[in-house]
Amino acid sequence: MTNTIRILLVGFMLWGTAWGQDATSDHAGSMDHAAIDHAPAYPLIVHNPYFSIWSFTDQLNASDTRHWTGREQPIYGVLEVDGKPYRFMGAGPSDDAAVQKSVEVKATQTVYRFTCGPVDLGVTFTSPLLISDLALLSRPVSYVSFAARSADGGQHVVNLSFEVSTNLAVNVNSQPVTAQQYSSGKLGLLKAGTVEQPVLGRKGDDVRIDWGYLYVAAPLEKGTEQKVVDMGGGVSGAAGVTGASSAMGADVSRLRTRMTLGKVGAEAVKKMVMIGYDEGDAIQYFHTNLKAWWALEPGMTMEKLLQQAFDEYPAVLQKCTAENDRIYTDAMKAGGERYAKLCVLAYRQCLAAHSLVKSPQGDILWLSKENFSNGSINTVDVTYPSAPLMLCYNPALVEGMLNGIFYYSESGKWPKPFAAHDLGTFPLANGQTYGEDMPVEECGNMVILTAAIVKAENSVDYARKHWSTLSTWAQYLAVNGFDPTNQLCTDDFAGHLARNANLSVKAIVAIGCYAHMAELMGLTDTAVKYRAMAVSMAARWPQMDDAGDHYALTFDNKDTWSQKYNLVWDKIMGLGLFAPEVYHKEIAYYLTKQQTFGLPLDSRKTYTKSDWILWTSALTDSRVDFDALVDPIYKYAMETPTRVPLSDWHETTDGKQRGFQARSVVGGYFIEVLKEKWAGSPVK
């Protein structure tokens, strides 16, 4: 056998294996155990805060797809069977709609199945956000896979049309766009972007990217044609015209890929396209423009990246299948089926709310955007609730969440003796833009998460690198943390509080974490001093906050209550600062305050934060109590009337969104997985 034939056969076998594992396979049966069949909104193509496309309806063809902000970014799909069109994706007349049979959301994939007359169609959206693989995590390319087979035993002539609106490359639809069709290597490419190209020229919350370029790629093969379509009547960039381009309004242009499937019988015929986005410059970091992580490889271009994604397609699908199983299995082991499904729902949303870059100093930067909160970049009290997912599977990403904040202080750019709130407004990380400091909150968060990195990595190196700064913050907490003055905490939407008991817990736990790190570093005097301080504070705290059958929201008002979710780090870090009675008393009281869709945040309002409820549930060692706290959040996720990417701030009485959506903080749902991994035993 010649080497050429051997290579071709191996390649064919790999592609066959990938297609067999793809959930669009004609052998796909009942719902995958690692999937859920309902979501408030369905992730389709999700990579970062700018490249993030969702379906806001249960039926993929009941509405146009949208950016996470809600702005329409339509993608259309039609399967033509024996000359009759069946629209499976995008809004349109009801009489041409395919019948959706099912939908499954997995950690890295969303899978649909349709009946198109006598033909069944499977459509899989794969965004390979593999948390342990930084190259794939940063690669802004999604696969859309199709599998069609006859459902009636006959053979049918089938064609597929897939159209991507150039709305994906604009902030508002009125911005003029240029588009072109050409080929590179094994791929046909469609490319579109704004004429203006205002690179990093727009910051804020409810905005979309209007620089860089959108790509649609398909294999160069017989029966596949691509062109740029002006929906106003003209057609430009017809298939086969290399470099053909046009300028048009973004609201009336589409990138069309048409694929001939031929005569389709009982054996599935399969096709795939890729959708990618090249930002060019992704982040501005203290006035230096940074490329995305994937673009750091010398000579790398988007064309080369798409070719690489195409060549690695079989291997990437295998990795995604393994990731789907790992995420579900770990969460199932830790907290049961409903908890596991919440983690599956949270996985892609958390990761896609970040951008991965490298600082000029050579440090990894994993920068969040405060989606529909205030648009801040690298907010410390967003990092804090998001971190458990990263701590479970790649603590280097938690370093990437803290590195910029450490640099801000250590460079002298942030001169205050406590940690900053943020690094700016996404995508400009040039310094804090939030109007008010949260000194105890952010110092506590930074110290606790550094200790968590030390535990996750089983190394004190990261703490040692930043010990001087950590010491400054620990000293600040020692003086100001136990009985905080009137200030904001992470729950700033609820307003200012003085003498905040839960914020006090954070300070105490952070001091305990600092002492623990000092001990690991051999700094015995410091360790003894701060350990004694934390133990003393933890002993005084229940006396200060005792309200009989529970602990109060503030030290000075015993007619209040609140979730003490910050206690979770005392428990899972094994610090042993607070007596078990504190946990037991609080959990017992919380169970008397439950509403239909969860436990309220505190006594002031009936709204809640679902991430904090999951942290509160991790305070218990009883499976019955754990389920009692988690199940209403599962009910919320399945039944909320607000159809947006999962909101972490909702009303417990009716399940409606109060604010926020598509935020990274749902990574905090993985706190029970982290607890199980570190303790080695699930809740019982």
Beta bridge partners of 284: 289, 428
| 405 and 273, same domain (yes or no) | no
Nearest one of 610, 604, 592, 621 to 557, comparing CA atoms: 604
Query: For residue 33, what pLDDT is reported?
Result: 81
Residue 491 lies in a domain: yes
CA distances from 58 to 42, 402, 634 (A): 8, 37, 17
Can you tell me the distance from the alpha carbon of 161 to that of 216, in angstroms, rounded to the nearest whole number? 13
Q: Quick one: which H or E segment has residue 370?
A: none
Label residue 243 by pLDDT band (50, 70, 90).
very low
User: Does the pLDDT value for residue 388 go beyond 60?
Assistant: yes
pTM (2 d.p.): 0.94
Query: For residue 94, what pLDDT is reported?
Result: 87
Query: For residue 342, what pLDDT is reported?
Result: 98
**Total count of domains within the chain:** 2
| 383 and 497, same domain (yes or no) | yes
648-670: pLDDT as tens digits:
999 999 999 999 999 999 999 99
CA distances from 432 to 358, 375, 421 (A): 19, 12, 7
Residue 308 CB neighbours (<10 A): 17
| 341 and 219, same domain (yes or no) | no
| 473 and 390, same domain (yes or no) | yes
Query: For residue 683, what pLDDT is reported?
Result: 57
- Percent pLDDT > 90 in the chain is 89
Q: How far is CA 485 from the centre of its chain?
A: 34
Residue 171 lies in a domain: yes
Contact 391, 384 (CB under 8 A): no
Can you tell me the distance from the alpha carbon of 447 to that of 476, in angstroms, rounded to the nearest whole number? 11
DSSP code at position 500: B
| 252 and 362, same domain (yes or no) | no
Query: For residue 680, what pLDDT is reported?
Result: 66
> Under 8 Å CB-to-CB from 298, ≥6 apart: which residues?
none
Look up the domain containing 638 and give its range.
321-679
| 329 and 208, same domain (yes or no) | no
First to last CA, the chain: 58
CA distances from 63 to 72, 87, 91, 376, 451 (A): 9, 11, 4, 30, 46
| 274 and 338, same domain (yes or no) | no
CATH code: domain of residue 581: 1.50.10.10
| 222 and 344, same domain (yes or no) | no
Structure tokens at 47: 């990579």
Residue 310 lies in a domain: no
| 243 and 374, same domain (yes or no) | no
Task: Read off the amino acid at residue 508.
Answer: I
Per residue, what are the HEC states of 398-424?
A: HHHHHHHHHHHHHCCCCCCCCCCCCCC
Residue 297 lies in a domain: no
Instruction: Return mean pLDDT, the chain.
Output: 93
19-52: pLDDT as tens digits:
434 544 433 445 688 889 999 999 999 999 999 9
222: burial class by Cβ within 10 Å (0-12, 13-18, 19+)? exposed
Q: Which residue has the tokens 């988690």?
A: 630
**Comparing 31 with 601, which gets the higher pLDDT?**
601
CATH code: domain of residue 96: 2.70.98.40
Integer-rounded Cα radius of gyration of the chain:
26
Helical H segments across 438-523, by residue range: 439-457, 461-465, 467-480, 501-520
User: Does the pLDDT value for residue 246 go beyond 60?
Assistant: no
